[in-house]
């Protein structure tokens, strides 16, 4: 095609286009159509991007769809989806591309800026990851409505935004990583005098709130913005104010006006979670007759529920979580519209008798009294709570049987009663909508009710009770199940064969500490999702199932305390995510053969093969592969547990001479326990490379030779047990440099010579050394010559005390329990399963708050 032809073709299409568009009612200026098409072409459409999408004003879910796909130059741009033109001029004045699955970079040379007459621009709920907000937005001088929220913009919000003095609605917050430069908040508020809605959620504002702002504000949401100073009282006197969200600004001080607020009649939602509330809740609160939702969690409230709140007769959602409220829970008889009541984590005491004569909470859907000090049984004659869907009473001192009315609730979705002392049987549930049942740590007995097995459960958590009977194979009908925790009960019989085929969703399977017998006769399917499998503490026989090799995400495998009879499953080393492997106390036997492959077990940080019949030399090649242990976690951050959204990784460990059951594993905790086997030969000095080790236990074997001097590199070692072997020679003096060593047992060997002096070695007692051939020095009575510096008995006592107290804190850190967070797990699941990773990855921060808010907003989904 030559040049002339090309020009002709372009001219031709141009003329066609012109003819076409002029025949339509609204003119669509050619340049604007072109600009829109160019804009469209800057982005790809990725259905995964804006899956989770909702109307910010109403909270109603919106199905995202790619609006731009239908755009083409054969029709007038005024008829395109999301495009609106002015009736008379034909200019494009509105562009609504919210929830349109757009992905890509938004540059400041974007053709969008040619649409200079825009009044409304909505680009929310797309994925512009890494894009800056262009200062050219300031050119849209007619804009009244600008929404860039939930679209992954980053960087500084340009000050030119404050040129948009006609704006009524400005939303730039939520799921963006933005900040507002110094003074820009002030400029913004000062110039945008027409604002009715301002949403800067999660924008780093880091300033005080100036008092000069639009008097038309109805919606002001400044959640998690680093605000500080005193909130201007004027905010409460905005006469149109409907929704104020200042949550998660712990530096912001809020002093509620003591006189009647001008917003009293209009204010519907007030969220002040985690702000600093000065003074008491004033009497003026009782005039907030329109208030539907109040969130005052984490605000240091104390005493009884403040009286002025009792007058909020239109309240539907009341959240006073994480305060120091105390006394009995009042009946609040005027709260007839109450749907959500959350008093989690306070100091409320007394019983729940009031539920049986409280006639006002008939609308209640969500009731959370978890983590208080409530006592006594749940009354059995409660009839007014027929609409209850979410019931949380965990971690109180409640007892007695769980009354039938709870099992009869027709629409129950989540039930969390864990960590009380409920007894009796779990009855059949009437609800068909259960998604979470968490009854761990009670004294419940009887079988698992059948009605639990035909639900869409995500979580079935019944551990630490006295539940008996067999595990029915119907359990495998729970196709949505993420976590099945039936540990520490009296279950018997075999593991249902189908369990390994529950592959789609099941992350954690905990059947530990029951009386299950037979072989592990299940085949773990290819493509399964298992992260944690614990069958610890049963009577299982046979071999380690070879199909475990299909569990490629497995992080924890605990088959300890069973009767498995097999050789060492070296092939487990191919599970590249495996961090915790416990095969302790089985009938495993034979030498641990080395395979040439150096990529096995590289992420392992807990290896427990103790109390088996392994023989031959210590597995030097495997020890050499433990790459994860060759690093010291030096970060000063508080140690984190290895866990995921549905499971805290629990196992039994032995350290410092004691066993600890059901221990939550801290990420930096590294343990090798090969004790109580028949290992022989020398201790490989390669162990000295495993510098991250905290606990090393090689006791009760037939090891000989010397203690390798390389042990001096184990600088964070806390517990070393080499007792009951045939180790000879002297204790390397270099070990005195192990300053974290709290527990040492070298007894019953053939050690000779002088015990190292100084530091930790001044704290060990006789028992660490007894039964050796010729050890001398402190604390033994045979002196080592030289000038022994004797520690006085008083110093010794003190050291012992320190040791004891550190033992307690160590236990405190280790001993956690169960699935820490049940609230809203089903929502997490939905997030996770609908591929919303960006949202998801930021959730850890304010997990609970975000989940509960979202969940309350979206609970009608289920």
Residues touching ligand NAG, count (CB under 6 A): 42
Q: Among 32, 49, 619, 825, which residue sits at the site for ligand NAG (rule: CB under 6 A)?
A: 49
Quick one: 462 exposed, middle or buried, by C-beta within 10 A (0-12, 13-18, 19+)?
A: buried
Calpha distance 138→81 (Å, rounded)? 25
Q: Among 221, 395, 605, 724, which residue sits at the site for ligand NAG (rule: CB under 6 A)?
A: 395
Smallest separation, CB 341 to ligand NAG (Å): 18
Q: Among 72, 215, 576, 805, which residue sits at the site for ligand NAG (rule: CB under 6 A)?
A: 72
Toward ligand NAG, which CB reaches closer, 746 or 830?
Answer: 830
Question: Interface with ligand NAG includes 259 (CB under 6 A)?
Answer: no
Smallest separation, CB 285 to ligand NAG (Å): 9
Q: Among 13, 259, 515, 800, which residue sits at the site for ligand NAG (rule: CB under 6 A)?
A: 13
- Helix, strand or coil, per DSSP, at residue 96: strand
- Helix, strand or coil, per DSSP, at residue 581: strand
Give 772's contacts (C-beta < 8 A, 6+ positions apart).
746, 747, 748, 749, 750, 751, 752
Question: Interface with ligand NAG includes 191 (CB under 6 A)?
Answer: yes
Give residues 763-802 in contact with ligand NAG (rule: CB under 6 A).
Answer: none
Q: Among 359, 432, 587, 631, which residue sits at the site for ligand NAG (rule: CB under 6 A)?
A: 587
Q: Taking the CB of residue 87, how many other CB atoms lie within 10 A of it?
A: 10
Toward ligand NAG, which CB reaches closer, 227 or 481?
Answer: 227
Smallest separation, CB 597 to ligand NAG (Å): 26
Q: Among 14, 357, 571, 740, which residue sits at the site for ligand NAG (rule: CB under 6 A)?
A: 14
Smallest separation, CB 310 to ligand NAG (Å): 6
Question: In Å, how far are 171, 278, 398, 669 from 271, measured between CA atoms?
Answer: 18, 15, 31, 40
Toward ligand NAG, which CB reaches closer, 565 or 617?
Answer: 565
* Contact code string over 412-451 relative to ligand NAG, x by CB under 6 A: -------x--------------------------------
Mark the segment that binds ligand NAG (CB under 6 A) among 158-166, 227-235, 532-540, 793-801.
158-166
Smallest separation, CB 192 to ligand NAG (Å): 8
Question: Interface with ligand NAG includes 724 (CB under 6 A)?
Answer: no
Give 109's contacts (C-beta < 8 A, 6+ positions apart).
none
Question: Interface with ligand NAG includes 206 (CB under 6 A)?
Answer: yes
CB 301 within 8 A of CB 324: yes
Give residues 266-295 in contact with ligand NAG (rule: CB under 6 A).
Answer: 286-287
Residue whose structure tokens are 């998660």 = 248
Q: Among 22, 41, 48, 215, which residue sits at the site for ligand NAG (rule: CB under 6 A)?
A: 48
Give residues 482-521 in contact with ligand NAG (rule: CB under 6 A).
Answer: 497, 518-519, 521
Smallest separation, CB 551 to ligand NAG (Å): 19
* Contact code string over 15-44 relative to ligand NAG, x by CB under 6 A: --x---------------------------
- Strand stretches in 637-690, DSSP E: 643-644, 647-648, 650-655, 658-664, 671-673, 678-682
Q: Among 20, 46, 517, 632, which residue sits at the site for ligand NAG (rule: CB under 6 A)?
A: 46
Give 400's contacts (C-beta < 8 A, 6+ positions apart).
376, 377, 378, 422, 423, 424
Closest CA to 292 of 261, 271, 323, 322: 271
Question: Interface with ligand NAG includes 543 (CB under 6 A)?
Answer: no
Smallest separation, CB 587 to ligand NAG (Å): 4
Calpha distance 466→440 (Å, rounded)? 10
Mark the segment that binds ligand NAG (CB under 6 A) among 11-19, 168-176, 357-365, 696-704.
11-19
Question: Interface with ligand NAG includes 179 (CB under 6 A)?
Answer: yes
Question: Interface with ligand NAG includes 116 (CB under 6 A)?
Answer: no
Question: In Å, how far are 367, 415, 418, 455 from 427, measured between CA atoms?
Answer: 21, 13, 16, 15
Give the tokens for residue 391: 């019931």
Smallest separation, CB 667 to ligand NAG (Å): 19
Question: Interface with ligand NAG includes 399 (CB under 6 A)?
Answer: no
Q: Among 119, 163, 339, 694, which residue sits at the site for ligand NAG (rule: CB under 6 A)?
A: 163
Give the tokens for residue 841: 């990855």
Q: Among 251, 258, 259, 397, which residue sits at the site for ligand NAG (rule: CB under 6 A)?
A: 397
Mark the segment that binds ligand NAG (CB under 6 A) among 46-54, 508-516, 646-654, 797-805.
46-54
Q: Among 226, 487, 560, 573, which residue sits at the site for ligand NAG (rule: CB under 6 A)?
A: 226
Q: Among 24, 132, 187, 821, which residue sits at the site for ligand NAG (rule: CB under 6 A)?
A: 187
Give residues 820-849 in contact with ligand NAG (rule: CB under 6 A).
Answer: 835, 837-838
Smallest separation, CB 102 to ligand NAG (Å): 10
Toward ligand NAG, which CB reaches closer, 287 or 656?
Answer: 287
Helix or strand (DSSP H, E) at 805: helix 793-814
Biggest distance spanned by C-alpha atoms of the chain? 111
Helix or strand (DSSP H, E) at 31: helix 30-41
Q: Among 61, 81, 86, 190, which residue sits at the site for ligand NAG (rule: CB under 6 A)?
A: 190
- Strand stretches in 346-413, DSSP E: 347-350, 366-368, 373-377, 390-392, 397-401
Q: Among 109, 636, 638, 781, which residue sits at the site for ligand NAG (rule: CB under 6 A)?
A: 109
Closest CA to 584 of 659, 522, 491, 649: 659
Calpha distance 616→614 (Å, rounded)? 7
41 secondary structure, DSSP code: H
DSSP labels, 502-549: --SS--EEE--SSEEEEE----PPTT---SEEE--SSEEESPPPGGGG
Question: Interface with ligand NAG includes 664 (CB under 6 A)?
Answer: no
Q: What are phi and psi of 408, to 5 degrees?
A: -90, -5
Closest CA to 405 of 421, 420, 391: 391
Give the tokens for residue 115: 């649409």
Give the tokens for residue 630: 């060759």
Q: Taking the CB of residue 436, how many other CB atoms lie within 10 A of it?
A: 25
Give residues 311-340 in contact with ligand NAG (rule: CB under 6 A).
Answer: 311
Calpha distance 131→118 (Å, rounded)? 21
Q: Among 21, 73, 247, 585, which residue sits at the site for ligand NAG (rule: CB under 6 A)?
A: 73
Long-range contacts at 375-380 (CB < 8 A, ≥ 24 apart): 375/349, 375/350, 375/351, 375/399, 376/351, 376/352, 376/400, 377/351, 377/352, 377/401, 377/403, 378/352, 378/402, 378/403, 378/406, 379/352, 379/353, 379/355, 379/403, 380/356, 380/404, 380/405
Give 401's contacts (C-beta < 8 A, 6+ positions apart).
377, 422, 423, 424, 425
Toward ligand NAG, which CB reaches closer, 129 or 791?
Answer: 129
Toward ligand NAG, which CB reaches closer, 179 or 290?
Answer: 179
Q: Which residues bind ligand NAG (CB under 6 A)?
A: 13-14, 17, 46, 48-49, 72-73, 103, 107, 109, 127, 129, 162-163, 165, 179, 187, 190-191, 204, 206, 212, 226, 286-287, 310-311, 395-397, 419, 497, 518-519, 521, 565, 587, 817, 835, 837-838
């Amino acid at each position: 095609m030559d040049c002339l032809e090309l020009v002709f073709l372009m001219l031709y299409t141009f003329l066609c286009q012109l003819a076409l568009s002029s025949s339509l009612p609204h003119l669509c200026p050619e340049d604007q159509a072109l600009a829109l098409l160019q804009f469209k072409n800057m982005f790809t459409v990725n259905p995964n991007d804006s899956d989770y999408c909702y109307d910010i004003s109403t909270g109603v879910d919106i199905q995202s769809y790619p609006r731009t796909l239908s755009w083409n130059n054969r029709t007038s741009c005024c008829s395109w989806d999301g495009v609106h033109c002015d009736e008379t001029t034909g200019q494009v004045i509105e562009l609504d591309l919210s929830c349109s699955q757009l992905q890509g970079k938004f540059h400041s040379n974007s053709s969008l800026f040619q649409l200079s007459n825009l009044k409304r621009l909505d680009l929310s709920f797309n994925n512009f990851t890494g894009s800056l907000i262009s200062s050219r937005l300031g050119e849209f001088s007619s804009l009244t409505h600008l929404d860039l929220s939930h679209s992954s913009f980053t960087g500084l919000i340009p000050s030119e935004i404050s040129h948009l003095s006609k704006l009524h609605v400005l939303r730039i917050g939520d799921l963006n990583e933005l900040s507002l430069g110094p003074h820009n908040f002030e400029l913004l508020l000062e110039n945008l005098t027409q604002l009715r809605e301002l949403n800067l959620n999660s924008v780093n504002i880091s300033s005080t709130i100036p008092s000069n702002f639009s008097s038309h504000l109805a919606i002001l949401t400044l959640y998690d913005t680093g605000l500080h100073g005193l909130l201007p009282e004027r905010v409460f006197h905005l006469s149109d104010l409907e929704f104020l969200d200042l949550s998660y600004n712990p530096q912001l001080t809020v002093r509620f006006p003591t006189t009647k607020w001008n917003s009293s009649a209009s204010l519907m939602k007030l969220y002040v979670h985690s702000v600093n509330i000065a003074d008491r809740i004033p009497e003026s609160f009782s005039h907030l007759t329109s208030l539907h939702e109040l969130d005052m969690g984490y605000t240091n409230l104390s005493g009884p529920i403040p009286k002025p709140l009792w007058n909020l007769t239109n309240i539907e959602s009341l959240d006073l979580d994480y305060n120091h409220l105390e006394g009995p829970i009042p009946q609040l008889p005027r709260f007839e519209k109450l749907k959500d009541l959350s008093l989690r984590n306070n100091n409320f005491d007394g019983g729940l008798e009031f539920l049986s004569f409280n006639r006002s909470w008939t609308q209640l859907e969500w009731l959370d009294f978890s983590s208080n000090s409530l006592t006594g049984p749940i009354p059995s004659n409660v009839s007014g709570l027929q609409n209850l869907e979410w019931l949380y009473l965990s971690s109180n001192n409640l007892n007695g049987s769980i009354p039938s009315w709870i099992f009869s609730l027709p629409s129950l979705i989540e039930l969390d009663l864990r960590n009380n002392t409920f007894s009796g049987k779990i009855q059949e549930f009437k609800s068909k909508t259960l998604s979470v049942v968490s009854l761990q740590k009670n004294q419940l007995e009887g079988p698992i009710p059948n009605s639990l097995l035909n639900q869409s459960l995500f979580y079935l958590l019944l551990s630490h009770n006295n539940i008996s009977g067999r595990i029915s194979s119907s359990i495998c009908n729970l196709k949505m199940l993420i976590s099945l925790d039936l540990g520490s009960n009296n279950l018997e019989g075999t593991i249902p064969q189908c369990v390994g085929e529950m592959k789609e969703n099941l992350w954690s399977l905990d059947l530990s500490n029951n009386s299950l017998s037979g072989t592990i006769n299940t085949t773990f399917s290819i493509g399964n999702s298992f992260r944690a499998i614990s069958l610890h503490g049963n009577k299982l026989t046979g071999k380690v199932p070879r199909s475990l090799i299909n569990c490629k995400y497995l992080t924890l495998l605990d088959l300890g305390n069973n009767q498995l009879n097999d050789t060492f499953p070296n092939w487990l080393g191919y599970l590249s995510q495996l961090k915790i492997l416990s095969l302790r106390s089985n009938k495993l036997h034979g030498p641990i053969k080395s395979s040439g492959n150096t990529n096995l077990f590289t992420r392992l940080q807990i290896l427990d093969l103790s109390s088996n019949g392994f023989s031959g030399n210590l597995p030097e090649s495997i020890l050499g592969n433990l790459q994860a242990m060759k690093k010291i976690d030096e970060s000063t951050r508080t140690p984190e547990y290895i866990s995921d959204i549905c499971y805290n990784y629990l196992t039994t460990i032995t350290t410092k001479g004691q066993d600890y059951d059901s221990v939550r594993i801290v990420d930096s905790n590294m343990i090798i326990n090969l004790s109580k086997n028949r290992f022989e030969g020398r201790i490989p000095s390669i162990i000295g490379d495993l510098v991250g080790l905290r606990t090393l236990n090689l006791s009760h074997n037939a090891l000989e030779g010397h203690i390798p001097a390389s042990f001096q590199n184990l600088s964070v070692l806390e517990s070393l047990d080499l007792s009951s072997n045939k180790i000879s020679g002297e204790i390397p003096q270099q070990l005195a440099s192990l300053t974290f060593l709290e527990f040492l047992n070298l007894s019953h060997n053939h050690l000779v010579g002088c015990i190292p002096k100084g530091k930790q070695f001044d704290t060990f007692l006789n028992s660490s050394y007894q039964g050796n051939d010729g050890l001398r020095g402190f604390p033994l009575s045979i002196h080592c010559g030289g000038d022994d510096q004797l520690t006085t008995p008083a110093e010794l006592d003190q050291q012992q005390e320190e040791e004891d107290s550190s033992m307690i804190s160590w236990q405190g850190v280790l001993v956690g329990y169960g699935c820490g967070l049940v609230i809203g797990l089903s929502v997490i699941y939905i997030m996770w399963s609908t591929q919303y990773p960006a949202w998801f990855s930021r959730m850890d921060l304010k997990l609970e708050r975000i989940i509960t808010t979202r969940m309350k907003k979206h609970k009608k989904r289920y």
